[in-house]
A and B are shown apart, each in its own frame.
Chain A
Amino acid sequence: MIVSGIKRLLLGAVPLVTLLLVWQGAALLLDSSNFPSVQQVFVSLHTHLFAGDMLHHLLVTLLRVLLSFTIAMLLGVLIGIMMGAFPRLNQAGDSLLVIALNVPALVTIMLCYVWFGLVEAAAIAAVAINKIPTVVVMVREGARVVDQDLLDVAKVFQVSPLRYFFKVYLPQLYPFIMASARSGLSLIWKIVLVVELLGRSDGVGFQLGTYFQFFDISSILAYTLAFAAIILVIEGLIMRPLDRFIARGGYHGQS
């Protein structure tokens, strides 16, 4: 068990180490301030982390990510279930959904800032609005293929509405919700950075914008690295255990 764990860890580390080595080699070859070495980036990371205010900006961005992620997931799952369960609602909302999917994130962000002002609520709303349509699409697909046979079991045995929803209906959607959460997290934090770049005075996006003006690539990469590390931790501590929970009993959704 431990040996296989170590093997898995080593296997995962190989591409990462290779990337770092190639990066370091290229930086040495190019010898340009626009292409800092691995060492320079880590020094910058250390400085920002312990002497600068990186932690504050990371925390602010993380809060925005979590808030907009939660709102997007809740609304997206709700609308997705409704559209999957009620064909008429789906017909009525489908063209709207296609439009929402294709409106550029940048446009939504600009409109939110113009209409609601450069405030926190506008930033969160802009991110959530960008993500909701993709959650709706994935959950709707799940709601369309729920196993009617299992729902019939609950109906015949007169299972209460709450237990019907949480024990029979919703578990069939978990794989779809999980897939949209996974893709959502990576998409949302990228959108949050744009939102911060355009209209906030703190957060990783704001900092990246500032460092871009000074062509401080080391700091840009240090911030990117730090936030990617946070997402990796979320993936390891929340997403993977959730995956295991959903796959209990070997259920991976309707094929």
Chain B
Amino acid sequence: MVSLDIALQSKFYANSPDKVLGPLSFSVSAGEFVALVGPSGAGKTTLLNMIAALQSSAPGEIKFNGRPLMGKPGCKIGYIFQQPRLMPWLTVADNLRLVKPDIHESDIGAILAKVGLEGKSLLYPKHLSGGMQRRVSIARAFLTEPDLLLLDEPFVSLDAPNADNLRSLLSELWVEQKPTVIFVTHDLNEAIQLADRILFLSAAPGMVILDQPVAIARPRLPDDSRLQRWKTDLLCDYSGLLEGVLSGPGLKSVSGGK
């Protein structure tokens, strides 16, 4: 497990005067599940890519367990991208072996069984449905037992039952391995169901406008009335949250949290 401290002054798109992020500052405790919710273009994916050392850092610092990120991943990272990003020329088993070459055949079978893909190890990604490909990408991310798991809207464009199944699967695997998680989503219901804490970002340039702990005991099911009530209360207090604007009656007590 790893803790994260992020303090960025600003981040610009390459060859563009448009600022995408910052100033931005927040911390994530080891083993914590944090959701980032914000409008399109708020720089959520850019932030994940910077944490994963896929994009160059900006003025400021990203620290892993107090140590600054130095151009390569600062710990064992699992990343579930918006698209599954499986290598089309590798079978399911070989896609898993790519990230963990010394894995035993039986372990491949076990992780595939866990994500509901028993007996699919020799198939190529093109033979799998979109939902199945995402399951493989979830298996790949958890296979390395990451210290930090980054998720970039992994359930977008899936049908509701499939997305619900995958959320439950993600929840189970997180409870089992307890990596630190940063989960980017547009879907507030999803964030409330899964996260310990939700960070709401403003529209570009992305800044944290509200840091809200989700004090609802687990397990949390999608149709849980507590989740709906929590969401309604939150949006009553801060009506413009999902548009990236902090407005509404709750603004007066913003420092106190919910």
Contacts and interface: CB of A to CB of B under 8 A. Distances in A.
User: Is this pair of chains taken from one and the same complex?
Assistant: yes
Interface of A: 149-150, 152-160, 163, 167-168, 171, 174, 246, 248-251
B126 A152 contact: no
B54 A155 contact: yes
Contact of A251 (B49, B83, B89): B89
Interface size class of B (residues with CB under 8 A): 20 to 34
Interface in B145-172: 150
Nearest to B53: A155
B52 interface: yes
Contacts, number: 65
B50 to A, nearest CB: 12
Given A152-B85, A251-B88, 20 more contacts: A149-B81, A150-B85, A153-B87, A155-B53, A155-B73, A157-B144, A158-B72, A158-B73, A158-B76, A167-B87, A167-B98, A168-B87, A168-B98, A171-B89, A174-B89, A249-B89, A250-B88, A250-B124, A250-B126, A251-B89
A179 to B, nearest CB: 16
A159 B99 contact: yes
A167 B90 contact: yes
A156 B88 contact: no
Interface string B81-110: 101010111110010001101000000000
Q: Which 10 A-B pairs have the closest CB atoms?
A: A249-B124, A157-B99, A250-B126, A251-B88, A156-B79, A171-B89, A249-B88, A249-B89, A251-B89, A153-B85
B125 interface: yes
B42 interface: no
Nearest to A174: B89
Interface in B41-99: 49, 52-54, 72-73, 76-79, 81, 83, 85, 87-91, 94, 98-99
Nearest to B101: A163
Contacts of B87: 150, 153, 167-168, 171
Nearest to A151: B54
Interface string B101-127: 100000000000000000000001110
A193 to B, nearest CB: 36
Which of A150, A153, A160, A168 has the most CB atoms of chain B within a 10 A radius of its CB? A153
Contacts of B140: 157
B120 to A, nearest CB: 14
10 contacts: A149-B85, A150-B85, A152-B54, A153-B79, A154-B98, A167-B90, A167-B94, A171-B87, A249-B90, A251-B88
Given A158-B73, A163-B101, A248 B89 contact: yes
Contacts of A251: 88-89
Contacts of B89: 171, 174, 246, 248-249, 251
Contacts of B76: 158
Contacts of A250: 88, 124, 126
Contacts of A155: 52-54, 73
A163 B53 CA distance: 19
Nearest to A250: B126
A249 B126 contact: yes
A163 B98 contact: yes
Contacts of A163: 98, 101
A168 B90 CA distance: 9
Contacts of A152: 49, 52, 54, 85
Contacts of B144: 157
A249 B78 CA distance: 24
Contacts of A168: 87, 98
